[in-house]
């Protein structure tokens, strides 16, 4: 048995390592390590010079967005005024997509004509729902909706390249692309393949200098990782004003790559570079680093996540085999040596274009060591797991018992609790199905779903303390009808006797007889009605005030005050006091569940149970919570509870409502801010009757 436990432990560790690597769970830590250990800050190339739109330039010429493009035209003419001293290529790191002034725009286009000038473009990424080759819908965050190109005259005479910075999930820039395949609808605008700003400059420079053009390898997403050569402020930067004023001669840029771009904080073109954590780097400097990475082949491509997971897992398996019978003082130095060798190999391979992640290997070694240390406790861990499963089973059995106790109290509630739990689970499953298609952000894990279902099963526990006379009340008068009828018949009989004995005249008798008949008729009409309309309520108020006056002048009302309160109910069968008693089941539920110890796995279930009568607009009970205070689970149970109440065939106070009408009522409640309309539609979708079933239930 012990041997099998050890083998199970090995498998668990290897699977955990594989999943950590495959799902890139330690991405930020891994990038922190590799950014430092693989970096080669060997200094900027003298072939690259930056002309910056800096504070000095802005103070002289004003806001950059208000400049005439004649300034850039003047810059190009000055750089190229002496053909022998001209730069190899000039990159303008600006998006000049709109016309500004006819003279300035024309001047810039004319200045760029016939010269090696690359102008920036901007690819607009806007997520969209797309359909894959199998017809399944998914949300594509990288969908290209447009590309901002230079204005037409400038576009015709320049090379173009996108200047988009690709920010990694940890906020740093370390990835780029050589080019992007454009959607069919944009190919007439930007071509089938649109190259990057840095790569196009690199191609022109290599061609001009007669050097080989080598495109870096890319991963499945078309990306590669590049190594920085210089930190922020290390590249040779001159002020644009210094060049325009002649302080810096054009010959200073001979045969160089000249990048012109923002170099002032106010222009908001700075980012966090992976090589210089804690400091921001201007976009034009990042392009300079990227061009230099192309020139000196300082790029890397990592193995795919699953290939990397398989490789690291295999290494750990080998170490397990070698070390599993060794004592700890041998295991530790061997593991340390393995980490050092792996790091050295990673640094060497990074210089040959291959990226090896470090954090996962370090973590895997640590995990292996911890496993060796904890191996003798594995049996106890498994035993504890089994104990936890037993606790869960006990919680479910307790919940089932409570549910049975509530539902079996009355024939009018026999399946309500289970229906609410069923509907709640259906909504959670529907949300998960949408999540898998990329149409819903939320997701219900197994634990989250079980907490929801348990909360639904417990939501009416407090009804155990609600009197059956309230829960089973079928009509407004609840059996008082015969007593009232007997009373009014007695009044009619007394009136008849008074007429026959000559104590009252015929007109008086007819009025007394008619009032009693009207009271009886209206009583029975109102008593069984689901909703009493305004006209009937107005007539009812008159009838409720009818009295019988005997010979001695004694006034005897047709209805008692308690009977009047029952007949004045507008909707349902409960008086205000009875409704308060019924609503108290929520507070009773809370008091009961507070006395039950819910382990961590089900810790939130009692919260969901208690909040099922709260409304998004704050008009619910018992606490009047608002939308901001109500989680999705509480909202789901509220929708499921109302749905079953409308569709139920076993309620004493109403007939079942057809499905379509029931959901129309729920949609109206959502519009009034009572319940979540999104969840109403989800429940509508997942309770649709099967086609051809011929039922609306």
> In sequence order, which residues have a C-beta less than 8 Å from that of residue 405 and are 6 or more positions away?
464
pLDDT for the residue numbered 413: 62
| 225 beta partners | 175, 300
Answer whether 173's CB lies under 8 Å from 271's CB: yes
pLDDT, averaged per 10 consecutive residues of the chain (697 residues), comes to 59 85 87 87 93 94 85 94 92 93 93 95 89 82 91 95 91 94 89 94 95 92 92 93 92 95 92 86 96 94 85 84 68 84 89 88 84 63 67 76 71 76 94 93 92 89 74 73 84 83 84 84 76 78 80 80 79 76 80 84 89 92 92 94 82 71 91 93 88 52
Q: Determine whether 372 is exposed, middle or buried from the number of CB atoms within 10 Å of its CB (0-12, 13-18, 19+).
A: buried
Residue 320 CA to residue 322 CA, distance in Å, equals 5
CA distances for 130 relative to 127, 441, 656, angstroms: 9, 16, 41
Tell me which CATH code domain 408-470+577-686 carries: 1.10.3210.10
Q: Which of 417, 422, 462, 451 is nearest to 631 (CA)?
A: 451
Residue 201 CA to residue 195 CA, distance in Å, equals 10
Residue 90 CA to residue 83 CA, distance in Å, equals 14
Residue 548: count of CB within 10 angstroms of its CB: 19
Residue 304 CA to residue 659 CA, distance in Å, equals 50
Question: Maximum Cα–Cα distance for the chain, whole Å?
Answer: 138
pLDDT for the residue numbered 1: 45
Answer whether 147's CB lies under 8 Å from 122's CB: yes
- What secondary structure letter does DSSP report for 485? H
Residue 227 CA to residue 172 CA, distance in Å, equals 13
Answer whether 125's CB lies under 8 Å from 141's CB: yes
pLDDT for the residue numbered 211: 94
| 556 beta partners | 548
> In sequence order, which residues have a C-beta less than 8 Å from that of residue 629 and are 6 or more positions away?
614
Residue 656 CA to residue 651 CA, distance in Å, equals 8
Helix 416-436 vs helix 446-457: crossing angle, to nearest 10: 160
Pairing of strands 270-272, 280-282: antiparallel
Q: Any idea where the domains of the chain sit in the sequence?
A: 2-36+304-378, 41-122+151-182+194-297, 408-470+577-686, 481-572
Residue 347 CA to residue 621 CA, distance in Å, equals 63
Residue 36 CA to residue 417 CA, distance in Å, equals 58
DSSP readout, 314-376?
HHHHHHHHHHTTS-HHHHHHHHHHHHHHHHHHHHHHHTTTEE--SHHHHHHHHHHHHHHHHGG
Residue 424 CA to residue 456 CA, distance in Å, equals 7
pLDDT for the residue numbered 375: 65
**Cis status of the peptide bond prior to 622, with omega within 30 of 0:** yes
Look-up of token digits 């939308």 = 627
- Name the token pair of 102: 């006819």
Look-up of token digits 């007889």 = 513
CA distances for 171 relative to 411, 566, 595, angstroms: 60, 66, 47
């Amino acid at each position: 048995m012990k041997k099998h436990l050890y083998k199970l432990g090995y498998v668990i560790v290897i699977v955990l390592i594989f999943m950590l690597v495959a799902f890139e769970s330690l991405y930020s830590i891994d990038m922190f390590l590799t950014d430092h250990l693989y970096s080669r800050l060997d200094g900027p190339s003298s072939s690259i010079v930056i002309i910056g739109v800096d504070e000095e330039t802005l103070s002289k010429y004003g806001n950059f967005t208000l400049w005439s493009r004649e300034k850039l035209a003047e810059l190009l003419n000055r750089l190229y005024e002496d053909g022998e001293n001209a730069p190899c290529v000039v990159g303008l790191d600006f998006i000049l997509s709109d016309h500004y002034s006819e003279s300035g725009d024309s001047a810039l286009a004319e200045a760029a004509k016939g010269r090696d000038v690359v102008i920036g473009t901007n690819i607009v990424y806007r997520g969209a729902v797309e359909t894959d080759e199998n017809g399944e819908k998914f949300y594509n965050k990288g969908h290209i909706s447009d590309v901002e190109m230079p204005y037409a005259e400038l576009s015709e005479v320049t090379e173009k390249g996108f200047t988009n910075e690709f920010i990694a999930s940890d906020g740093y820039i370390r990835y780029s692309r050589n080019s992007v395949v454009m959607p069919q609808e944009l190919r007439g605008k930007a071509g089938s393949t649109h190259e990057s700003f840095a790569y196009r400059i690199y191609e022109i420079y290599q061609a001009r200098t007669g050097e080989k053009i080598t495109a870096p390898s890319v991963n499945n997403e078309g990306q590669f990782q590049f190594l920085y050569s210089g930190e922020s402020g290390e590249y040779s930067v001159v002020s644009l004003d210094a060049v325009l004023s002649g302080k810096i001669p054009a010959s200073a840029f001979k045969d160089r790559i000249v990048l012109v771009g923002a170099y002032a904080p106010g222009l908001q073109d700075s980012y966090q570079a992976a090589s210089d954590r804690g400091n921001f780097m201007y976009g034009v400097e990042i392009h300079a680093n990227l061009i230099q990475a192309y020139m000196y082949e300082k790029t890397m491509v990592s193995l795919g996540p699953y290939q990397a997971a398989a490789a690291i897992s295999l290494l750990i398996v080998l170490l397990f085999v070698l070390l599993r019978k060794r004592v700890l003082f041998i295991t530790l130095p061997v593991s340390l040596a393995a980490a050092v060798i792996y790091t050295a190999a990673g640094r060497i391979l990074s210089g040959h274009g291959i990226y090896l992640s470090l954090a996962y290997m370090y973590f895997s070694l640590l995990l292996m060591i911890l496993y060796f240390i904890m191996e003798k406790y594995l049996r106890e861990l498994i035993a504890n797991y089994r104990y936890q499963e037993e606790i869960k089973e006990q919680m479910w059995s307790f919940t089932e018992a409570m549910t049975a106790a509530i539902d079996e109290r009355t024939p009018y509630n026999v399946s309500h609790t289970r229906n609410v739990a069923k509907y709640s689970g259906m909504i959670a499953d529907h949300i998960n199905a949408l999540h898998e298609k990329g149409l819903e952000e939320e997701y219900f894990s197994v634990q989250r779903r079980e907490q929801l279902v348990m909360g639904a099963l417990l939501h009416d526990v407090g009804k155990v303390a609600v009197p059956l006379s309230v829960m089973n009340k079928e009509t407004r008068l609840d059996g008082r009808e015969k007593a009232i009828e007997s009373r009014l018949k007695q009044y009619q009989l007394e009136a008849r006797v008074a007429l026959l004995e000559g104590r009252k005249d015929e007109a008086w008798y007819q009025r007394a007889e008619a009032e009693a008949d009207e009271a009886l008729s209206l009583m029975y009409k109102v008593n069984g009605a689901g909703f009493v309309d305004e006209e009937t309520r107005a007539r009812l108020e008159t009838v409720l005030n009818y009295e019988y006056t005997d010979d001695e002048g004694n006034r005897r009302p047709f209805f008692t005050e308690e009977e009047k309160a029952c007949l004045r109910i507008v909707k349902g069968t409960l008086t205000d006091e009875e409704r308060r008693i019924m609503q108290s089941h929520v507070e009773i539920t809370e008091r009961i569940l507070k006395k039950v110890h819910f382990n961590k796995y089900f810790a939130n279930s009692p919260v969901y149970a208690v909040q099922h009568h709260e409304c998004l607009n704050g008009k619910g009970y018992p606490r009047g919570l608002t939308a901001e205070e109500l989680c999705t689970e509480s909202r789901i149970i509220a929708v499921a509870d109302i749905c079953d109440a409308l569709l139920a065939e076993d309620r004493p106070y109403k007939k079942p409502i057809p499905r379509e009408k029931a959901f129309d009522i729920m949609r109206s409640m959502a519009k009034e801010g009572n319940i979540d309309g999104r969840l109403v539609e989800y429940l509508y979708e997942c309770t649709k009757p099967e086609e051809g079933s011929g039922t609306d239930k």
